[in-house]
Structure 1
Amino acid sequence: MKNHLRTFTLLAAMTALFLGVGYLIGGATGMLIAFVLAAGMNMFSYWNADKIVLSMYRATEVDASHPEPLVRTYVNDVLELAARANMPAPKVYVIDQDQPNAFATGRDPAHAAVAATRGLLGMLDRREIRGVMAHELAHVKHRDTLTMTITATIAGAIGMLANFAFLFGGRDEEGRPTGILGMLVMMIVAPMAAALVQMAISRGREYEADREGAEMAGDPQALASALQKIDAYARGGYFNADAERNPATAHMFIINPLAGSGTDNLFSTHPATENRVRALLKMGERPAVSRARRSAVPLTGSRRPGPWS
């Protein structure tokens, strides 16, 4: 509930920022044009994001008949977790990438897909993989893709208003120029502020997905362990070349796949891993969660990162 309220507050702040910048430019007309254009582009992305992103990472759809036992187990666990959460079964994908990571996409639970890299399936044990995929299913369940599409729409509209100010100059309601200060606010400060709000919302949704995913899998410790392993691998200099070429998709992954990220600051799309792990371990101390953990899937042997055979 706390994170939902925080997300709502941040969305309200971004909306207020948009209205304020629109007023500085010169009234409702330019603001409406910018909003319609930004909404049109982002709605196209919303309806087609799953196809675009899965294609971008060359993800391959897999099912329970896959010849590799590890993949079959992965698929069956995703389907079982979805059923446990009373969700429609998502499409399941594997990405041929050594860096361990995972993401979810799709406009709603009925049109969702989850994807894990081969590195993740090869490095984590079964309980940890279940924890990661439960986290991704939590994003789907709470329609986080819709939340991020709304924020992207408003942020895009603010960016367009800034471009209008650069091209035509800022004007108040009576047609007077807003001056150098107003121009700087519209061209630099407003888009930067919108981006910061986007990142803050993204971080809030990660904490919420951690909590919901840990409850879904009944094993906060497994998700905490998975986050630590994935983060340590990413910090070891093993880059995701596809993510580096497409940094706008970084917020989708359970751990930021880009180089040089690791702190819970204003400019990060993900919370600091240490903070997430601390919250999960504290959650695991609760009696109800401890009872759920005892009924979770037993651990299999740990795996080392590296190419699949």
Structure 2
Amino acid sequence: MLYQQIAQNKRKTVLVMVGFFLLVALIGAAIGYLFAGSAVGGIIIAGIIALIYMSVIIGQSTDVVMNMNNAHEIHSAQEAPALWHVVEDMAMVAQVPMPRVYIIDDPSPNAFATGNNPEHAAVAATTGLLQIMNREELEAVMGHEMSHVRNYDIRLQTIALALAAAISMLVNFAGNFWWFGGRRDRDENDGGWGILAIVGSILLIMLAPLAATIAQMALSRNREYLADAGSVELTRNPQGMISALEKLKTAQPMKHMAPSSSGLYISDPEENGHHRWYDDLFATHPPLDARIKRLEEM
């Protein structure tokens, strides 16, 4: 069951990432067609912009994300002994380098991992998490985060964040360019198909941010299931992960966090245990009850 779940979620992740890159290409084609009459040229420009965003964000991901979430780094076990030693133990079990460790001053229990790769990873935990979790539960949470590090989820989420930012920039550019009269004059020979292509391009550009958000959320949900299973693999203690998730169900939303990094956290920092019928599509995380059920089935 454990390894089947890991394989299934990896396949889903590949599909989501392919969809992300196709979306960038389609937006580029739409913008190129509308404003320059060249879909291919638009695809090339969109690809270049996406690569620039990816290189910048990946290169500075840890500092950027930690600053966005008001996290401060600790440099020794004396500052937070329980957290430091648990992170150290879980990194050793996962066979990844010891990540940088951060604390977020927030009463809501939560945690996340970020970075470019295991050699440049960082984990953060809120003061609320450290207050309510016992040793086994804290190990489960950090095992979850070490699974994100070991499986390169931190890089995938960073790439998704960069692609979503690139898509937003392209859409904003298209809107501003259109507003200021930058659209090309329609060829009289375009005919009905030309009009249809123009309308389709406009609709694609308008709906692109929503599609990017849904893709980013789908990626996050798949990786959360995988990290839960990975935590069980590392700790050999499914009950620790189940107990930790049960406590997260009663958590209040975080007070200070960056919405764009919601998908990095172990549970939705804006909603936490609250679940609505449409969350399966628009949530960054699977319902906690569904995650607990999967662990119980193991």
Please give the TM-score of this superposition, normalised by the length of structure 1.
0.80
Question: Post-superposition shift, 1:101?
Answer: 0.7
Match of 1:9 among 11, 15, 31: 15
Q: CA deviation at 1:164?
A: 4.8
The one-letter amino acid of 2:127's match is R
- Offset at 1:83? 0.8
Cα distance in 2 between the residues matched to 1:126 and 1:171:
66
Counterpart check, 1:216 vs 2:234: yes
Question: After alignment, is 127-136 or 7-16 more displaced?
Answer: 7-16
Cα distance change on mapping 1:162 and 1:66 into 2, 3 Å: same
Identify which of 48, 51, 56 aligns with 1:36: 48
Mapping for residues 67-146 of structure 1, pairs under 5 Å = 71-146=80-155
Partner Cα distance (1:58, 1:193) in 2: 29
Aligned pair in 2 of structure 1 residues 105, 170: CA closer, same or farther (>3 Å)?
A: farther
Task: Single out whichever of 199-208 and 178-187 deviates more from structure 2.
Answer: 178-187
Quote the RMSD (CA, aligned, Å).
Answer: 2.6
Give deviations 1:162-193, integer Å, cap 9, x for gaps.
34543244899998555663244223223212
Say whether 1:274 aligns with 2:289. yes
The answer to whether the 8 Å contact 1:170/1:183 transfers is no
Query: Aligned residue for 1:206?
Result: 224
| Mapped contact 1:38–1:157 kept (Cα < 8 A) | yes
Return the offset for 1:196. Answer: 0.8
- Deviations 1:222-258, CA, capped at 9 Å, x for gaps: 1111112122122xxxx32212xx2111111101111
1:51 deviates by 1.1
Q: In 2, Cα distance between the equivalents of 1:39 and 1:94?
A: 31
Structure 2 partner of 1:60: 72
Match of residue 4 from structure 2? none
User: CA separation in 2, counterparts of 1:7 and 1:171?
Assistant: 41
- Counterpart Cα distance in 1 of 2:186 and 2:28: 9
Corresponding pairs, count:
274
CA distance in 1, matches of 2:160, 2:185: 26
Could you tell me whether the CA contact under 8 Å between 2:137 and 2:244 is conserved in 1? yes
1:22 pairs, out of 22, 28, 33, with: 28
Please give the residue correspondences for 1:256-267 in structure 2 after superposition, counting only pairs within 5 Å. 256-259=268-271, 262-263=275-276, 264-267=279-282
Relative to 1, partners in 2 of residues 1:17 and 1:91: Cα closer, same or farther, differing over 3 Å?
Answer: closer
Report the Cα distance in structure 2 between the residues aligned to 1:271 and 1:58, rounded to whole angstroms: 25
Asked if 1 retains the 8 angstrom alpha-carbon contact of 2:24 and 2:47, the reply is: no
How far apart, in 2, do the equivalents of 1:105 and 1:4 lie?
Answer: 19
Letter in 1 for 2:12: R
Query: Runs of 5+ in structure 1 lacking a partner?
Result: 284-309
1:79 offset after TM fit, Å? 0.7
Please give the per-residue CA displacement for 1:117-171, whole angstroms capped at 9, x wherever unaligned. 1111111111000000110111111111221233334434444443454324489
Q: Is contact 2:110-2:129 (8 Å) kept?
A: yes
Question: What TM-score, normalized to structure 2?
Answer: 0.83
Give the distance between the partners of 1:90 and 1:131, measured in 2 at CA.
16
Name the CA distance, whole Å, in 1 between partners of 2:185 and 2:97: 50
Q: How does 1:177-256 map to 2 (within 5 A)?
A: 181-234=199-252, 239-243=253-257, 246-256=258-268
CA distance in 1, matches of 2:68, 2:149: 20
Q: In the superposition, relative to structure 1, how do residues 226 and 183 fare at CA in structure 2: closer, same or farther (>3 Å)?
A: same
> How far apart are the structure 2 equivalents of 1:267 and 1:250?
12
Structure 1 residue 104: Cα displacement: 0.8
